[in-house]
């Protein structure tokens, strides 16, 4: 038995998936969700094997929702038109359906899932790569979605002061406090706008607008003093990068 969720903000779009699924009695739909928050809750509650996911949804989009799931299930995306998402899918999604899709196309996607379901870890790996590509879409590098306890917080990148490596996580520091995100420094270095964020140290990325002063520190290294008063170490290579961006 395969346990599935449908996450789409348009009721009729969910209905199409339900209708097509009638041909697959071995797939049980546990719940239909109208937005990413509901979807996130339902995934944690039910631990489904498969989700049907729309990209454009209220509050947080499909990609952002997936980022917050610890062990993402297999995903079949269903979207109408989003050039960037399609690019991401073509490279890495298990499968994606372009709305409106035919029953034949839907059956193909399900068949693909059923034949792949033995190799679940591989699916999780591709989902990760997919999210990395999707995170580079213009809409998505303007904010960072994090989980604090059971709540979801959306942080605008304009509010970010700096990021600090924290074991397997990255700590996102804003005026409101620090938020953990299970991503790597390399991920943020790649996705944040390089004109505004510089990786000045192996463990730090800073928002250059926050810098008030650059002081020399021990040999070959510097200290960046931020508006908030935080002192961030700047390595030799970080200093070179920083000088380039600041044009000094």
Partner 1 sequence: MASEQLSGKKLFGAFAICGAVWAALQAYLLHSFGFVWMVALADAGISTILLSVACWLINNNLRYYQPDRGSYIYLLVWCGALAAGCAAACRYIIPFFGFGVVYDNFLKQSFIIRLFTDFLAIGWMAMISALFYSQIDHKKTEQRKTEAEKLARDAELYNLRQQLQPHFLFNSLNSINALIGFKPDEARRMIHQLSDFLRGTLKKDDQLLVPLSDELTHLNLYLEIEKVRFGHRLQTEISCYEKCGKALLPSMLLQPLVENAIKFGLYDTTGEVTISISGELEDSYLVMTIQNPYDSQTSRPRKGTGFGLSGVQRRLYLIFARNDLMETHANDNIFTTIIKIPQL
Q: Is residue 176 within 8 Å of residue 154, measured between CB atoms?
A: no
Among 27, 30, 37, 230, binds partner 1 (CB under 8 A): 37
Query: Looking at residue 27, what DSSP letter applies?
Result: E
CA distance 9 to 194: 33
Interface stretch with partner 1, choices 86-94, 151-159, 198-206, 212-220 (CB under 8 A): 151-159
Per CB under 8 A, 156 contacts partner 1: yes
- E-assigned strands of 34-159? 50-53, 74-79, 95-98, 143-148, 151-156
- Number of residues interacting with partner 1: please give it, by CB under 8 A: 26
Among 3, 10, 24, 69, binds partner 1 (CB under 8 A): 10
Q: Is residue 226 within 8 Å of residue 161, measured between CB atoms?
A: yes
Nearer to partner 1, 80 or 246 (CB): 80
CA 195 vs. chain centroid, Å, equals 21
Question: Which is it for the CA torsion 171, 174, 177, 179, positive or negative?
Answer: negative
Nearer to partner 1, 13 or 170 (CB): 13
Among 16, 135, 160, 170, binds partner 1 (CB under 8 A): 16
Site for partner 1 in 218-237 (CB under 8 A): none
List contacts with partner 1 (CB under 8 A). 9-13, 15-16, 19, 34-35, 37-38, 56-59, 80-82, 98-101, 154, 156, 158
């Amino acid at each position: 038995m395969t346990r599935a969720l449908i996450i789409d903000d348009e009721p009729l779009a969910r209905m199409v998936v339900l209708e097509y699924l009638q041909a697959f009695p071995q797939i049980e739909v546990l719940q239909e969700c109208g937005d990413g928050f509901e979807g996130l809750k339902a995934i944690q509650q039910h631990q489904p094997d498969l989700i049907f996911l729309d990209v454009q949804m209220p509050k947080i989009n499909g990609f952002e929702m997936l980022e917050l799931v610890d062990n993402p299930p297999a995903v079949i995306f269903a979207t109408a038109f989003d050039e960037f998402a399609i690019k991401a899918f073509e490279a890495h999604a298990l499968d994606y359906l372009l709305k409106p899709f035919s029953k034949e196309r839907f059956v193909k996607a399900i068949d693909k899932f059923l034949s792949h379901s033995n190799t679940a870890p591989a699916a999780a790996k591709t989902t990760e790569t997919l999210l990395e590509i999707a995170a580079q879409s213009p809409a998505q590098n303007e904010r960072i979605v994090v989980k604090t306890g059971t709540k979801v917080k959306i942080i605008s990148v304009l509010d970010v002061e700096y990021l600090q490596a924290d074991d397997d996580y990255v700590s996102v520091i804003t005026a409101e406090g620090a938020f953990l995100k299970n991503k790597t420094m390399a991920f943020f270095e790649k996705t944040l706008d390089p004109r505004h964020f510089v990786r000045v140290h192996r463990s730090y990325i800073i928002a250059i607008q926050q810098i008030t002063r650059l002081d020399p520190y021990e040999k070959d290294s510097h200290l960046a003093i931020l508006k908030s008063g935080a002192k961030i170490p700047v390595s030799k290579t970080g200093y070179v990068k920083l000088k380039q961006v600041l044009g000094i």
